[in-house]
Chain A
């Protein structure tokens, strides 16, 4: 158990809908990262927050948004869902804002299926 929690574990929804994925980082970690894992794209970085502020953006679609709250939990909002958004969404957390020694610990993931 990494100490990172994600809810829900599974989510099935229809095209055009909007969903919210939730993540709680490990105790003491200030950074939260979101990754998407799909068969064709592999593991892709979406966005990072550090202590409530957006820190870095990766391949995140405009239909997707995220935020980190004062208690450091984070939510990833996916809207106007398409079939291609079906994937495993991971949240990871780390102590620092960045740096190559800063290890990221991953949550169990949310498997999103868009029908």
Chain B
């Protein structure tokens, strides 16, 4: 079973509008972290935002916020006031437990296209 599911292969949004990128996850570990990364066409992976499983509040970083619904096992990324430079592939990832040696598990990604 997939641990990270991103059901939207592509999303389209106009500049200045908000957009939500969906991510659901599957884990039985009570301690886990959820991450979002951005991959522009240039290829690099840019860390955007982190949410811990025990965090009481949704994470925010500038125009990025994470809509964390633990019971539904979802961690959607919300980008407010979209800009042309937001056009990229976005990956949701999870890291389980507090044990050492655990790697990131990535979803398949969502391509976001922002138009003017």
Give the nearest-CB partner of A45 in chain B: B103
From the candidates A97, A102, A106, A111, name the one contacting B45 in the complex (CB within 8 A).
Answer: A106
Q: Which residues of A contact B (CB under 8 A)?
A: 2, 33, 35, 42-43, 45, 48, 50, 55-56, 58, 88, 90, 92, 96-109, 111
A-B contacts, 5 of them at CB < 8 A, read A48-B101, A56-B101, A97-B101, A100-B53, A100-B102
Which residues of B have CB within 8 Å of A100? 31-33, 52-53, 95-98, 102
Known: A43-B91, A88-B43. A99 touches B106 (CB 8 A): no
Q: Which residues of B contact A (CB under 8 A)?
A: 31-33, 35, 37, 43-47, 50, 52-53, 91, 93, 95-106, 108-109
Contact B47 A105 (CB under 8 A): yes
Give the nearest-CB partner of B53 in chain A: A100
With A and B bound together, what is the CA distance between A103 and B53 in angstroms?
14
With A and B bound together, what is the CA distance between A87 and B79 in angstroms?
29
Which residues of A have CB within 8 Å of B98? 98-100
